[in-house]
């Protein structure tokens, strides 16, 4: 019993000693300065087969079915369990289950050809029947899949038909340039499993998911982990790893410790943790663009912000580089953003007015607009560390031009509720972020005046027309022009102030390789886990 008391007092002493020691431990190691990408330049060694990969996810998965998946964890797990038809990265198309996708000259018919000899995890053949089934269920209102509206064009559904076992034909009711963007989200689900289910989302067949991805389902221990085993029949070739495990770890500090302890091999880390993790020398750190834009949006319901000179003034007062340093610790982890479209989106224009910092110009504009003693309320999600840093910075910087900023930290539910309220007047400026993918038409829901996510509440008929025209314009040069105009209008009106294209940072144990072939991908970390192996 005495041991306990000695134990407890020793504990405190031990902590002080070890924390002091740890500082010595990490100091002498040379941190690979300024070129984080270098440590990721994988010389592919000879792939050994075997071993497992444990990656951290912050929550339990929701329903493990790709036609419903919207949260990060489920999407990540689905990426390994299910294979898509094709994927697009940086404008380049990579075919997975599909072999080719061709459009008719009038762009009203698309023909998709599948690869031969595709199988599901349970051995059944994967054919055009499954693709047709998946699309039909997506379109079925009773199945309430959120992918449905991507396949409704001008109020009419896309029609899908099986031509033969490996060919599927899509007939569009109207021309749209955005069809590939819709199709890229489709990960087929097996018809023979779900065909008799009344409500696929509630079906308990989802408890033992059958997919066609590189790894098949082994077990799910609630609150602990989801374990997947290698699928030898994967069309892309047998995966090198034996198993992949998704470990549920809610607390980010605890999961960082688990990473250092070797209990987790792969996770996304914050820029603030980069130095610490990198200094241990045990991990390959890969910062990569998520195709994400962090932005600040002006609420045009507020009178003070109705004058565009005021908004422009604020844009000139802020310094994007400083914001990035405050919230992402270094310019290595984010690029200042001139445009509302991210670099991976088609037709992102490179020569938009970047609003280089000019405090004097800002003051002039404010004076001219008669707004030199403004008081603004800035709302943001309190659990978001980056937004908190940005809010503090903006508050400090706008003091220089005489604007007093009151911070309104809100929890995400309350924030969403206010932000989605079209008549919102509870706050004047707010932060946000989005990942919209390569198809610019997807941004419509954020910028067209009547759309739900038009947080700025900017309303201009001509602007809306630009979006509608660009959606159906099939000539790429003309399309590029239209989108360039859109970006310039937003920059001029300054309804949305783009801050940065942010990077995600993957930290993976050094013993893994094949990372380049696996392809980093926003949200799910890697696109194809079959390519990863242990050196």
Contact predicate 194/137, CB 8 Å: yes
Q: What distance in Å separates the CA atoms of residue 371 and residue 357, rounded to the nearest whole number? A: 19
Range 281-320, binding other proteins (CB under 8 A): none
11-16 CB contacts, 8 Å cutoff, 24+ apart: none
Nearest to other proteins of 112, 293 (CB atom): 293
Nearest to other proteins of 99, 201 (CB atom): 201
Confirm or reject binding of residue 178 to other proteins (CB under 8 A). no
From the list 414, 466, 472, 524, which residue makes contact with other proteins (rule: CB under 8 A)? 414
Range 317-336, binding other proteins (CB under 8 A): 322, 325-326, 329
Nearest to other proteins of 155, 462 (CB atom): 155
Confirm or reject binding of residue 409 to other proteins (CB under 8 A). yes
Nearest to other proteins of 51, 236 (CB atom): 51
User: In the block, which residue shows the tokens 């110009």?
Assistant: 361
- Per-position x/- string for 368-407, each x denoting binding to other proteins as judged by CB under 8 A, each - no binding: --------------xx----xx-xxx-xx----------x
Range 496-535, binding other proteins (CB under 8 A): none
- What residues form DSSP beta bridges with 113? 100, 167
Q: Which tokens hold the place of 336?
A: 């200042």
Q: What distance in Å separates the CA atoms of residue 430 and residue 409, rounded to the nearest whole number? A: 10
From the list 122, 351, 411, 492, which residue makes contact with other proteins (rule: CB under 8 A)? 411
- What residues form DSSP beta bridges with 496? 297
Nearest to other proteins of 125, 399 (CB atom): 399
Q: What are the start-end ranges of the H helices in 126-190?
A: 128-139, 179-183
- Per-position x/- string for 424-453, each x denoting binding to other proteins as judged by CB under 8 A, each - no binding: ----------x-x-----x--xx-----xx
Nearest alpha carbon to residue 157 among 165, 167, 145, 166 = 145
From the list 53, 55, 131, 248, which residue makes contact with other proteins (rule: CB under 8 A)? 248
Backbone angles phi, psi at 396, to 5 degrees: -70, -45
From the list 11, 30, 38, 198, which residue makes contact with other proteins (rule: CB under 8 A)? 11
Residue 510 Cβ, how far from other proteins at the closest point, in Å?
17
- Count Cβ atoms below 10 Å from residue 167 Cβ, excluding itself: 17
Residue 269 Cβ, how far from other proteins at the closest point, in Å?
10
| Sequence-ordered list of residues with C-beta below 8 angstroms from that of 417, at least 6 positions apart, any chain | none
- Per-position x/- string for 218-247, each x denoting binding to other proteins as judged by CB under 8 A, each - no binding: ---xxxxx-x-----------------x-x
Residues 139, 141, 142: CA angle, nearest 5 degrees: 125
Range 257-276, binding other proteins (CB under 8 A): 257-258, 260-261, 263, 270, 272-273, 275-276
Range 142-161, binding other proteins (CB under 8 A): 144-146, 148-150
H/E stretch holding 14:
helix 2-26
Q: Which tokens hold the place of 136?
A: 């039909």
Backbone angles phi, psi at 261, to 5 degrees: -85, -5
H/E stretch holding 487:
helix 476-493
- Per-position x/- string for 82-111, each x denoting binding to other proteins as judged by CB under 8 A, each - no binding: ------------------------------
Residue 301 Cβ, how far from other proteins at the closest point, in Å?
19
User: E strands of 256-389, at which residues?
Assistant: 266-269, 283-298, 334-336, 375-381
Q: Which tokens hold the place of 445?
A: 């829901």
Confirm or reject binding of residue 357 to other proteins (CB under 8 A). no
DSSP calls for 152-165: EETTEEPEEEEEET
Q: What distance in Å separates the CA atoms of residue 286 and residue 305, rounded to the nearest whole number? A: 40
Range 192-211, binding other proteins (CB under 8 A): 199, 201-202, 206-207
Confirm or reject binding of residue 254 to other proteins (CB under 8 A). yes
Nearest to other proteins of 64, 118 (CB atom): 64
Residue 264 Cβ, how far from other proteins at the closest point, in Å?
8
Contact predicate 349/488, CB 8 Å: yes
**DSSP state at residue 28:** T
Residue 445 Cβ, how far from other proteins at the closest point, in Å?
6
Residue 164 Cβ, how far from other proteins at the closest point, in Å?
32
């Amino acid at each position: 019993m005495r041991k306990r008391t000695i134990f407890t007092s020793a504990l405190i002493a031990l902590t002080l000693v070890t924390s002091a020691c740890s500082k010595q431990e990490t100091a002498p190691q040379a941190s690979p300065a300024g070129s984080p990408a270098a440590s990721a330049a994988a010389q592919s060694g000879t792939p050994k087969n075997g071993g497992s990969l444990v990656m951290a996810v912050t929550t339990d998965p929701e329903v493990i079915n790709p036609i419903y998946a919207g949260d990060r964890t489920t999407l990540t797990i689905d990426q390994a369990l299910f294979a898509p038809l094709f994927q697009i990265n940086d404008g380049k198309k990579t075919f997975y289950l599909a072999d080719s996708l061709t459009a008719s000259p009038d762009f009203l018919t698309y023909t998709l050809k599948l690869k031969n000899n595709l199988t599901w995890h349970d051995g059944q053949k994967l054919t055009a029947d499954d693709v047709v089934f998946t699309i039909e269920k997506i379109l079925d209102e009773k199945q309430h899949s959120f992918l449905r509206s991507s396949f409704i064009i001008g109020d009419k559904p896309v029609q899908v038909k099986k031509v033969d076992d490996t060919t599927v034909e899509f007939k569009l009711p109207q021309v749209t340039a955005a069809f590939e963007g819709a199709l890229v989200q489709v990960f087929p689900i097996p018809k023979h499993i779900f065909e008799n289910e009344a409500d696929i989302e509630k079906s308990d067949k989802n408890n033992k998911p059958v997919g066609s991805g590189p790894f098949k389902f082994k077990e799910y221990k609630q609150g602990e982990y989801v374990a997947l085993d290698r699928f030898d029949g994967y069309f892309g070739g047998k995966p090198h790893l034996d198993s992949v495990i998704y470990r549920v770890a809610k607390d980010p500090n605890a999961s960082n410790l688990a990473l250092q302890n070797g209990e987790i091999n792969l996770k996304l880390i914050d820029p603030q943790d980069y130095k610490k993790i990198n200094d241990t020398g045990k991990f390959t750190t890969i910062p990569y663009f998520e195709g994400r834009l962090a932005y600040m949006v002006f609420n045009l319901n507020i009178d003070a912000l109705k004058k565009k000179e005021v908004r422009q003034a604020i844009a000139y007062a802020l310094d994007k580089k400083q914001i990035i340093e405050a919230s992402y610790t270094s310019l290595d982890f984010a690029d200042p953003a001139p445009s509302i479209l991210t670099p991976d989106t088609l037709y992102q224009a490179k020569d938009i007015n970047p609003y280089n910092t000019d405090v004097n110009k800002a003051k002039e504009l404010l004076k001219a607009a008669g707004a030199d003693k403004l008081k603004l309320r800035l709302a943001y999600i309190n659990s978001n560390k980056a937004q908190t840093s940005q809010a503090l910075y903006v508050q400090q910087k706008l003091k220089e031009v005489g604007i007093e900023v009151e911070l309104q930290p809100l929890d995400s539910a309350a924030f969403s509720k206010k932000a989605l309220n079209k008549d919102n007047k509870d706050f004047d400026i707010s932060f946000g972020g989005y990942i919209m993918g390569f198809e610019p038409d997807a941004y419509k829901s954020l910028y067209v005046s009547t759309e739900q996510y038009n947080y700025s509440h900017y309303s201009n008929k001509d602007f809306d027309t630009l979006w509608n025209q660009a959606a159906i314009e099939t000539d790429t040069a003309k399309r590029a022009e239209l989108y360039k105009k859109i970006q310039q209008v937003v920059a001029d009106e300054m309804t949305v102030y783009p801050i940065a294209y942010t990077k995600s940072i993957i930290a993976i144990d050094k013993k893994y390789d094949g990372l380049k072939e696996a392809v980093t991908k926003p949200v799910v970390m890697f696109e194809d886990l079959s390519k990863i192996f242990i050196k």
